Amino acid sequence: MNGVGSTWRPDGPVRYRRDGINRLVGVMPATCKQGLHALHVVGYTARETTSEHGSQELLAITCAACVSANLSGATWYLVRTQPRPELAELDDEPYRDIEPQLMERPVTR
Ligand SMILES: [Zn+2]
């Protein structure tokens, strides 16, 4: 049963991969949820949290530039499905399905 206010849902699962020596790597989106900023450029905070009722382990990734600009939706909420990875990296590729408004990468003129 879902109560009032339970319509919130995370953006999807954290993507993981194994590196060449089988270490678990947590992959985070390289672009903020608004599709405006490259997180490695503007800065971001990543923290572990849980959903409202503690039913889901979440990774919250907040865009520093969106926060500065007071934009809503500055934070990705991704569900952690693996133990804490040994490494983390930023990559948009595994998130194509949940980044529908991802901006085109800047074109060098
Ligand atoms: Zn942003």
Ligand 1 centroid, distance to 20 Cα (angstroms): 31
Q: How far apart are CA 75 and CA 30, in angstroms?
A: 12
Ligand 1 centroid, distance to 66 Cα (angstroms): 4
Ligand 1 centroid, distance to 82 Cα (angstroms): 26
The pair phi, psi for residue 97, each rounded to 5°, is -75, -20
**Residue 100: is its pLDDT beyond 70?**
no
Q: How far apart are CA 89 and CA 82, in angstroms?
A: 15
The pair phi, psi for residue 42, each rounded to 5°, is -90, -15
Which residues are close to ligand 1, an ion, with C-beta < 5 A? 32, 34, 36-37, 63, 65-66
pLDDT tens per residue across span 41-74: 999 999 999 988 888 999 999 999 999 999 999 9
CA 95 to chain centre: 9
User: pTM score, two decimals?
Assistant: 0.82
